[in-house]
Copies of this chain bind each other. A is one copy, B any other.
Amino acid sequence: MAVTTRRADAQRNIAAILTAAAECLSRDPAASTSDIAKAAGVGRVTLYGHFPSRAELIDAVFVQAIATGEETLGQVDLTGDPREALGRLVESSWQLVDQYRALLLAAQDSLPPGRVRELHADPMARVERLLERGRDEGVFRTDLPTSWLVSVMHNVMHGAASEIHAGRITSDQAAPYITATLLAAFRSD
């Protein structure tokens, strides 16, 4: 019984820490573990007991954000003309990138190179399937590997987050700019 209670406490603490971390990092990508522990209503020792480093905590928040995003992206209609489907997928994906923009900056700053992309394995697999279908149907180019086209989408989309951060484009402009760029870059001649 005591063990069960301790487990339930631990789960409650982990959930509170992840929620607080997501909120704190969305306001400020440089938020410290002290800020996050305070917002979660737990001590720093408790926080470090579950997440031994700030990077591990950011990684866990990112895993959760991707899982939440996957629920949204799973609803996008990817049937019909692959170009129109790509437009719908960019639109939904962009809303997620925009919503998690500060968390993305924190992750790019704190996680090892390649880890942010690794965490995007599921959304990128969805893009890959759509691009493969478009190639089979003759509307997307086949002279470059699909994995390269997927990376171009990833980089252009995440680059848009930096353009907004720098004040060079607005959040409203991003999705149409990204779509116009990718449809041109991907089309078959």
Whether the Cβ atoms of A166 and B29 lie closer than 8 Å is no
Chain B residues with CB under 8 Å of A185's CB are 181-182, 184-185
Chain B residues with CB under 8 Å of A152's CB are 156, 159, 181
Chain B residues with CB under 8 Å of A34's CB are none
The oligomer's copy count stands at 2
Chain B residues with CB under 8 Å of A88's CB are none
Scan A129-156; emit 1 where CB is below 8 A from any B CB, else 0. Answer: 0000000000001011101100110111
Whether the Cβ atoms of B113 and A165 lie closer than 8 Å is yes
Whether the Cβ atoms of A117 and B166 lie closer than 8 Å is yes
Chain B residues with CB under 8 Å of A147's CB are 163, 168-169
Chain B residues with CB under 8 Å of A54's CB are none
Whether the Cβ atoms of A114 and B181 lie closer than 8 Å is no
Known contacts A113-B108, A113-B162, A156-B156: A151-B168 contact under CB 8 Å? yes
A-side residues, CB < 8 A to B, are 29, 105, 108-109, 112-114, 117, 141, 143-145, 147-148, 151-152, 154-156, 158-160, 162-163, 165-166, 168-169, 177, 180-182, 184-187
List the 10 closest pairs (A to B, CB-CB), nearest first. Answer: A155-B159, A185-B185, A155-B155, A184-B185, A105-B113, A181-B185, A151-B163, A147-B168, A148-B177, A151-B159
